[in-house]
A = this chain, B = another copy of it.
């Protein structure tokens, strides 16, 4: 007699197969770089059997990889694909000048773009002797109390500005939480061309930032961090301005994607001589 079997009840009918696979990727974040199959299933809200199948496919596509300890992690393929995304292109164009800025100022430098109601940190550069920072590439930071955030906010449409100033969070005793005061600062930034934050995001840290402009307005903000003990504004502004100008020029050349179509993908980086 054939075994009795009822069809499996769908956990979440209406979710497409693709969205389920992508929810597996979403199970990973900064605090969960490696996960077991069961963790993935729980965090993605999927039955283990389903997660098992999807994980297998994602591994075959190298979007996930399996570690020797049988845990899973995001695969190198995702990293490579991510380098094609706009933040990576911006980073690539800016990197030499960020480098120059670190050398001339000896400070930690940041490059950030607007991402909804937060700033997305695109790159953070520092030598081993400069002070560490909480901001990491791919992470977010607040708009109303950091120098880079203020620059981005000052050049944002009113809707973004209003949203960000609706209820400014307090990070330190020096954080400005009065929307009116911040608005006046933002207006001043538009005329002065640079923004400051004095311990408003983190105690003991002072920062100054300037906008990076692309063909269609302000695309990013470039900031320099310094300990509060030596906030010589004049020392920072000149090299910062030079770097911002240089990056803006580089950015203008980028981003007009290659339109030509080639049937076979080629690696433009590394081809043997004929």
Contacts and interface: CB of A to CB of B under 8 A. Distances in A.
A75 interface: yes
Contacts of A137: 83, 92
A204 interface: no
A171 B134 CA distance: 44
Contacts of A85: 73-76, 78-79
Interface in A100-133: 100, 102-103, 115, 118, 120-121, 125-129
Interface in A53-85: 54, 57-58, 60-61, 63, 65, 71, 73-76, 78-85
B170 A84 contact: no
Interface stretch (A4-12, A24-32, A179-187, A221-229): A24-32
A196 interface: no
Given A29-B84, A127-B100, A272 B138 contact: no
A49 interface: no
A268 to B, nearest CB: 6
A136 interface: yes
A65 to B, nearest CB: 8
Interface stretch (A13-21, A156-164, A206-214, A233-241): A13-21
Interface residues of A, number: 87
Nearest to A42: B261
A135 B113 CA distance: 26
A146 B138 CA distance: 31
21 contacts: A18-B21, A19-B60, A22-B58, A28-B81, A28-B84, A29-B265, A32-B265, A71-B257, A74-B82, A74-B84, A79-B82, A80-B82, A95-B125, A96-B126, A97-B128, A99-B99, A134-B270, A139-B270, A140-B267, A140-B270, A170-B273
Closest 3 CB pairs of A and B: A82-B82, A34-B257, A139-B269
